[in-house]
Structure 1
Amino acid sequence: MSIPVVTVGDSREDLVGRLERLHGPVSVVRRCSELAELLAACQGGLARAAVVAEGSEELTASLVDRLSAVGVVVVALTDRPEETARLRGIGVAAELTGVDAAALANRIEAAVALLAADPRLRQGDNAVQAVGSTAAGRSGGTAGEAAERSAEGRIIAVWGPAGSPGRTMLAANMAAELAAEGKSVLLVDADSYGASIAAMLGLLDEAAGLAQACRLADQGLLDGEALLRVAVPVVTKTGIFHVLTGITRADRWTELRAAALSLVLARARQVAEVIVIDTGFCLESDEELSFDTMAPRRNAATLRSLELADTVFAVGAADSIGVPRLVRGLAELEAAVPHVCPQVVLNKVRQSAVGRSPERRLRDAWERYGPAVPVSGFLPADPVSTDAALLSGSLLLETAPDSPLRRGIAALVCAPAQRNRGSSVFSSTSKRRPKD
């Protein structure tokens, strides 16, 4: 059975005629006059491959992602090396305009077979398709992709349910602690509801660095130099890291499309040893919120960040409201991103909300009533230090380097192998507290 193909541009004898005369693996079912018509035909289920002979400059990563989602591969014809590199970067198979008809048909057949075998893979030679888990990518990708990934930076995503459990505080200070260890760090604000990294760090930035990076990635123009150019450097007393600030208004969430964000994070892995992502709280997949299955997804930035993360920290507030929210949130997280094994962190631990020996009480309650995921860390409430840092637009390692909260965050992210599960930040600090 031949593969149905739609084309746009060069629709006379040159391209279409050559393909039709083959009577081989492909069959041209429609000749479109423009890209919009081609997109409509593909979304209507008319074809499994699209050949763009003219107007390849209009192709973007989001458009290719939309076509891939309906099982359509894209092949573009161009003679320009820079355009070939751009197209392959966004997942398009590129061929020369004078390609032999049989070779083009074989390329289409191979691309369709690849997409059918694993929908997460795109047909472009150098494209980075980031749908699915990191583990799935390692086992299901090509050998070259697995080898390349092993040499790239790792992604840490900080997630938590609604209610201000401390996601942004934890993500920002994790980035600072890793930078203090000498690592190259990129902090990404992917919260599509209430981005606040810039405000926390005192950055007067209205450019929305992540949105800029996604726009460049969507056009296939994002390289390492461009990524660092749109990122804001933050200098502390002990190190430097870069920040991709979040969207400046919540209604700009459509700029954070999943396909573009995947490419941004893939590029970030190449320029930074560690990428720390501050995610949003909502995990709804949005299918029930839209009649158009190809429409942008409000929570795509959060879900894609969690899908691609090597490590996910799930943070919740340690009180009678925050803990149940976290328990329910972990169930939602498992349903939304099944492969994730989060490291649970209880934040704002204090006697006034839990009682005496708060860590022991919380651990006992969690082991008895909580999910199977153990608690990886307890962070004490320290409003004096966090308020001082927020007021000055600084981080804990600058305003309160000896605070128990700062030490707890550093232990979580910098030296997990040395962390003693039975140790308590509270018990260690209580030994230093003079008796009344």
Structure 2
Amino acid sequence: MSIPVVTVGQSQDDLVGGLERLHGPVTVVRRCDELAELLAACQSGLARAAVVAEGTGDLTASLVDRLSAVGVAVVGLTADPEEAARLRAIGVLTALPDVDAAGLASKISDAVHQLTGRGPRHPEPRDSGLADPAAGLRPAAPVVTEETPAPSGTGEIIAVWGPAGAPGRTLLAANIAAELAAEGKSVLLIDADSYGASIAATLGLLDESAGLAQACRLADQGLLDTESLKKVAASVFTKSGEFRVLTGITRADRWTELRAAALSTVFEQSRKVADVIVIDAGFCLEADEELSFDTMAPRRNAATLRSLEVADTVFAVGSADAIGIPRLVRGLAELEEAVPQSAPRIILNKVRASAAGRSPERQLREAWERYAPGSGIEALLPSEPESCDAALLSGSVLFEVAAESPLRHAIAELVCAPVQGNSRSSVRSSRARRLLKR
């Protein structure tokens, strides 16, 4: 079956004419003058592959992701090794500008084969079965094998999520990162809240550069590696350890900078530079398709949804009061629908007798068993506004300003003991938790 192809730009030889003369593997359905025209043609369902002969520098990970979303694979022609490496990093199969028609047809077939997800993503086996001229391209094939899955880091990802209403997501995320760093772990804290990023303010960082947005920009251009990720991450020093932070966007209207394709690359690189990655996720789980008919448009909630999708552990935190608990119950149902594999661990924060009655821990557990979903409560964190205010005022974490506070000990107990017992820094632990004594 012939593959419909759209092209943009002219190569050294008229490859379009050469492809048309092959009469079989591929069919050129449109020649475009610029990428915008190519995008429109692909969005209309006209093609399954796109060949970019000129203007590959304008290709980004988000653009390739948009084309992949409508079932279009991309092949870029370039003679520059650095540009070829960048294109491969964002998911573009590359070929030399002087490749002949049969070799290009082979590349197009491989790109479509990779996009369908059937069989291995490596192009060499298919090259060997096609026209001989493709053999000239095989030296580049080992690089084109898209090594992203193979060198994946072993860092564990923890996502801290909770419904609307300030249940304490940022407080928990920042202190989890600090406790793990104090245990000697290499930690990266990421502020992926696209509505109200506040990690920088919580830790007293005078940073207006939005580290996560910088990392996403590099990832979008195919230029993000472990070294560049470390450079854009701010360092936070505490009395007992150090951890890195990718600060969040400085204004809510910058959410378009946090695109799903770029975030995936950021998270993948993060696994290589840290033992544990802690993500402060946003609250909204609404599918953006419900808000827009444009399936190619950026997604406002992509940062939250992608964070939860890649997380090894999800902490779902809610306020322990008559408003916070129903919100959490409803939010968990939405979380189950949006990210079925998440298996959240339930954290009730701000536990106090004035909001839950006498013996608040017992009252909350009994109420949760009656009305909440099947999973039990993982931990109950006591309300300590004085300690939290002191930490916020000084831009510190709890163990620096209130090392002996029950809240600090509860957070440390939540993550540190299980991490110590696992060589890969897994944060999974048993559900048995000591009830806090007031």
In structure 2, the residue matched to 1:139 is none
Question: Structure 1 pair 123/78, CA: closer, same or farther in 2 (3 Å)?
Answer: farther
- Superposed CA deviations along residues 396-426 of structure 1, whole A, max 9, x for unmatched, are 0101111111111111111247767252122
* Cα distance between partner residues in 1 of 2:379 and 2:344: 12
Tell me, yes or no, if the aligned pair for 2:379 and 2:433 is still in contact at 8 Å: no
* Cα distance between partner residues in 2 of 1:249 and 1:270: 29
* Cα distance between partner residues in 2 of 1:274 and 1:422: 22
Amino acid at match of 1:406: R
2:435 pairs with one of 406, 417, 424: 424
Tell me, yes or no, if the aligned pair for 2:258 and 2:302 is still in contact at 8 Å: yes
Shift in Å at residue 166 of structure 1?
Answer: 0.2
Amino acid at match of 2:92: V
In structure 2, the residue matched to 1:134 is none
* Cα distance between partner residues in 1 of 2:92 and 2:53: 12
2:262 pairs with one of 254, 260, 263: 260
SS in 2 for 1:241: strand
Question: Structure 1 pair 146/220, CA: closer, same or farther in 2 (3 Å)?
Answer: closer
Please say which of residues 104-113 and 414-423 is displaced more in the overlay. 414-423
* 1:162 lines up with 2:159 in the alignment: no
Amino acid at match of 1:425: L
Matches within 5 A, 1:6-405: 6-10=6-10, 14-117=14-117, 148-149=151-152, 151-405=153-407
Please say which of residues 333-342 and 20-29 is displaced more in the overlay. 20-29
How many residue pairs match? The answer is 409
Shift in Å at residue 14 of structure 1?
Answer: 2.5
* Cα distance between partner residues in 1 of 2:268 and 2:433: 37
Shift in Å at residue 225 of structure 1?
Answer: 1.4
Shift in Å at residue 355 of structure 1?
Answer: 1.6
SS in 1 for 2:75: strand
Shift in Å at residue 112 of structure 1?
Answer: 1.2
Shift in Å at residue 268 of structure 1?
Answer: 1.0
Shift in Å at residue 118 of structure 1?
Answer: 6.1
* Cα distance between partner residues in 1 of 2:169 and 2:354: 22
* Cα distance between partner residues in 2 of 1:32 and 1:4: 14
Structure 2, unmatched stretches of 5+, are: 125-144, 419-427
Shift in Å at residue 184 of structure 1?
Answer: 1.0
Amino acid at match of 2:376: P
* Cα distance between partner residues in 2 of 1:418 and 1:266: 24
TM-score, with length taken from structure 2: 0.89
**Cα RMSD after superposing both structures:** 2.1
- Superposed CA deviations along residues 261-310 of structure 1, whole A, max 9, x for unmatched, are 11111111111111111011111111121231111111111011111111
Please say which of residues 360-369 and 243-252 is displaced more in the overlay. 360-369
* Cα distance between partner residues in 1 of 2:202 and 2:117: 45
Shift in Å at residue 117 of structure 1?
Answer: 3.2
Shift in Å at residue 13 of structure 1?
Answer: 5.0
Tell me, yes or no, if the aligned pair for 1:306 and 1:337 is still in contact at 8 Å: yes
Shift in Å at residue 393 of structure 1?
Answer: 0.5
Amino acid at match of 1:26: V
Tell me, yes or no, if the aligned pair for 1:93 and 1:124 is still in contact at 8 Å: no
Tell me, yes or no, if the aligned pair for 1:90 and 1:124 is still in contact at 8 Å: no
Amino acid at match of 1:43: Q
SS in 2 for 1:415: helix
Amino acid at match of 2:96: L
In structure 1, the residue matched to 2:422 is none
Tell me, yes or no, if the aligned pair for 2:320 and 2:350 is still in contact at 8 Å: yes
Tell me, yes or no, if the aligned pair for 1:91 and 1:122 is still in contact at 8 Å: no
In structure 2, the residue matched to 1:408 is 410
* Cα distance between partner residues in 1 of 2:18 and 2:322: 70
Percent same amino acid among aligned pairs?
72
SS in 1 for 2:24: coil
Amino acid at match of 2:225: D
* Cα distance between partner residues in 2 of 1:251 and 1:74: 30
TM-score, with length taken from structure 1: 0.90
Shift in Å at residue 372 of structure 1?
Answer: 0.7
Tell me, yes or no, if the aligned pair for 2:203 and 2:396 is still in contact at 8 Å: yes
SS in 1 for 2:205: coil
In structure 2, the residue matched to 1:135 is none
Shift in Å at residue 144 of structure 1?
Answer: 7.1
Tell me, yes or no, if the aligned pair for 2:5 and 2:49 is still in contact at 8 Å: yes
Structure 1, unmatched stretches of 5+, are: 126-141, 431-436
* Cα distance between partner residues in 1 of 2:219 and 2:258: 11
